[in-house]
Amino acid sequence: MRENLRFDPVDLQILRVLQNDARITNRDLAAAVGIAPSTCLDRVARLREGGVILGHALRVAPEALGRPIQAFLSVRVQPHRRPLVEPLVEHIRTRPETRALYHLTGPDDFLVLVAAADVADLQRLVLDEFTARPEITRVQTMLVFQEWDGGPLLPPG
């Protein structure tokens, strides 16, 4: 994102509306924020070109795909060095159970959100895909009971 990109109240409203409904038509978006459709199209293009809007995502219900068990896996790697980390990241990202992967500071190195078919599938994932790897020294599993979305992400202030 360019450092000199400025947001006015209309830009912020566009971001709010799009984060709540990325499928909204340009005409409806323009009406919602009170500007002409051509102006709205230009503003959205500027936000894309500026690296603020990164794309569109489709959210899928894991339980609808037969993966109702979600868990965070807190993973510790030893030694924590690039030659080991890069192949591990690729391994984790290619697992069909992986929904998100975060590289962290602190006592653990990664936080992985996974979706499994059942508890036995989650156990298999932890034992066969994570702890079986020599660079992984610890995996802590935390089951997700319920999930909520946050509000739209906007600049501070």
CATH of residue 139:
3.30.70.920
Query: Torsions phi, psi of 55, nearest 5?
Result: 150, -165
Q: Range of 89's domain?
A: 62-143
pLDDT confidence of residue 57: 84
Name, in order, each residue with C-beta under 8 angstroms of 95's C-beta and a sequence gap of 6 or more. 114, 125, 129
Same-domain check for residues 16 and 71 = no
* Residue 154 domain flag: no
Judged by DSSP in three states, 116 sits in strand
Contact 7/153 with Cβ under 8 angstroms?
A: no
For the stretch 107-141, pLDDT in tens is 999 999 999 999 999 999 999 999 999 999 999 99
Cα separation, 7 vs 154, in Å, equals: 10
Number of domain units in the chain: 2
Whole-model pTM? 0.83
